[in-house]
Structure 1
């Protein structure tokens, strides 16, 4: 098992190095930030000074090595727009995005797993069919359209919930959080539900498929033959084995919640990293865009590594295969 973990770590490092090259080159060959940042009436000398100040006068390979050297020292460069370290600007917005993503994931787990288990245990009941029909809508409806409908119904027509911002926050461990205040929770509910809609349907259908795959297994029949109660069979045997694929998918999907929360944050004006990256792309703020993409690469690599380890711990067959 130790050799397998070391091998995965080496693979993860190669992926990160390769992605630094792809991300840096891909971002730096698109557009010219000087055209946006400088006054249109500026003369050629002023343009040249700004280009030299931003380091854009150097060859691309030289810019890349300067970038890699800075990254190894925890420096992703200074933002063109904010004139501050890009990493600091992102870290200021990151708690809002993490809070939104964790809330959406909790909603998806709390709703998706119980409903999926019910639909798997009673597949022919009318409620199960209604649940599965609802999951199809969750997959099919566009996130931006659902978000706009949420705002129209719950914020404009009914006036129950606010439509934008984080609301009042409270400090915990030196970071401001919305879920610690009632006003913050009211602001958090709509964007979290909107972001969780697709993931809830995914977890629900995955759970249902897992239950239907596990129920015909021999160890379930053996447990029933021993006279174990149905509730214990479901809790101990079905749920434990069901967690193996669910944990794998949830781990990867948490990364996608953070990386792809851009639409939800834009619709609800949620001040997170997703909204920041949209503004930075429009302004061609390359250090912010590169730092964000690299953070997402590291996040996905780390999550996949953690999921691999958890999968190995949860499923003995994987450990046996790795040792063989």
Structure 2
């Protein structure tokens, strides 16, 4: 296990190095940050002086080495707009995004497992056909369209739920202001969470169904039927446990993907998270904040995937045996 963890850490470092190079190299193609910083009233000579002070005229390699030295210590630059360290700005926005991803993940978990299992156990029933038909439609509809339809139905027509913002927040364990500790916060997060979950929920339903149907054809399941075990015991103890192994792997990757997908959801609902902040940074050509966001999201991917691999080795003992040979 320790050797496996060391290999994963080395791989993670290589991946983060590549992400940092790609993220840093695109900043020159985003536009001129001085346009947003000083406007049009500053002379060209003053612009060049400011570019020299910011190091924007230095060669790419010089800029990247300077950036990498600071990044190792956790300094990813200072936001041009907020006048604060980019990492601090991201950390201020991160709780809103993580709460949105957390609630969406809970929706996916508690809906996809029973619906996927039911579709696998009774594949020819009308309920199963309805679930699969709905999942096909759900995969085809983009998240922003789902968000707009939710706003129109539940906010405009019915007036049940708010259509934008995070709502009332309160301190959570003294760490950050959370919307999950207030009723108003829960009302505000429902529609964004449903829209974000709509991306992955159909995928997980179909994945669990296909894996479950494959497991139900295994010899040990047939042997369990021959022994006369209870149906629920066979379905939920023997079959579902092995069904969830590939789901864990895919789920870990998709959780990281959801963090990136929040850009569209947060934009539609004006949710004050990292995704909305990223789009504003692009509009303002706030390159330090853009680069920092890409690196932080890349780090989230790497950390989640590493944790999923470790969890997989705990759930599936054969992975340990394979690594020991």
Q: TM (normalized to structure 1)?
A: 0.97
Q: Residue in 2 aligned with 1:218?
A: 219
Cα distance in 2 for partners of 1:265, 1:119 equals 32
Matches within 5 A, 1:153-302: 153-173=153-173, 174-302=175-303
Instruction: Give the superposition deviation at 1:261.
Output: 0.6
Q: Residue in 2 aligned with 1:303?
A: 304
- Which stretch has the larger CA shift, 74-83 or 32-41? 32-41
Matches within 5 A, 1:14-25: 14-25=14-25
Cα distance in 2 for partners of 1:219, 1:116 equals 21
Cα distance in 1 for partners of 2:153, 2:53 equals 49
Instruction: Give the superposition deviation at 1:312.
Output: 2.0
Deviations 1:261-311 (A, max 9, x none): 100000000000000000101111011011010011111111111111222
- Computed over aligned residues only, the root mean square deviation of the Cα atoms, in angstroms, reads 1.3
Q: Kindly indicate whether the alpha-carbon contact (under 8 Å) linking 2:278 and 2:289 is maintained by their aligned counterparts in 1.
A: yes
Q: Kindly indicate whether the alpha-carbon contact (under 8 Å) linking 1:54 and 1:80 is maintained by their aligned counterparts in 2.
A: no
Instruction: Give the superposition deviation at 1:45.
Output: 3.0
Q: Kindly indicate whether the alpha-carbon contact (under 8 Å) linking 2:30 and 2:282 is maintained by their aligned counterparts in 1.
A: no
- Which stretch has the larger CA shift, 142-151 or 312-321? 312-321
Cα distance in 1 for partners of 2:270, 2:318 equals 46
Q: Kindly indicate whether the alpha-carbon contact (under 8 Å) linking 2:142 and 2:199 is maintained by their aligned counterparts in 1.
A: no
Q: Kindly indicate whether the alpha-carbon contact (under 8 Å) linking 1:75 and 1:85 is maintained by their aligned counterparts in 2.
A: yes
Q: TM (normalized to structure 2)?
A: 0.96
- Which stretch has the larger CA shift, 192-201 or 25-34? 25-34
Q: Kindly indicate whether the alpha-carbon contact (under 8 Å) linking 1:12 and 1:301 is maintained by their aligned counterparts in 2.
A: yes
SS in structure 1 opposite 2:177? strand
SS in structure 1 opposite 2:220? helix
Q: Residue in 2 aligned with 1:73?
A: 73
Deviations 1:185-228 (A, max 9, x none): 11000000000012111111111011101001111112222221
SS in structure 1 opposite 2:163? coil
Q: Residue in 2 aligned with 1:62?
A: 62
SS in structure 1 opposite 2:30? coil
Instruction: Give the superposition deviation at 1:42.
Output: 1.1
Structure 1 runs, 4 residues or longer, greater than 4 Å off:
none
Cα distance in 1 for partners of 2:32, 2:61 equals 17
Instruction: Give the superposition deviation at 1:29.
Output: 4.1
Cα distance in 2 for partners of 1:320, 1:234 equals 27
Q: Kindly indicate whether the alpha-carbon contact (under 8 Å) linking 1:265 and 1:271 is maintained by their aligned counterparts in 2.
A: yes
Query: What 5-or-longer segments of structure 2 have no aligned partner?
Result: none
SS in structure 2 opposite 1:75? coil
Cα distance in 2 for partners of 1:261, 1:116 equals 25
Deviations 1:1-53 (A, max 9, x none): 43333222212211111221121112234322112322212112321232133
Deviations 1:92-117 (A, max 9, x none): 00000000011111101111111000
Q: Residue in 1 aligned with 2:51?
A: 51
Cα distance in 1 for partners of 2:140, 2:165 equals 27
Cα distance in 2 for partners of 1:261, 1:8 equals 27
Instruction: Give the superposition deviation at 1:316.
Output: 2.4
Count of aligned positions? 324
1:323 aligns with 2:294: no
Q: Residue in 1 aligned with 2:120?
A: 120
Q: Residue in 2 aligned with 1:7?
A: 7
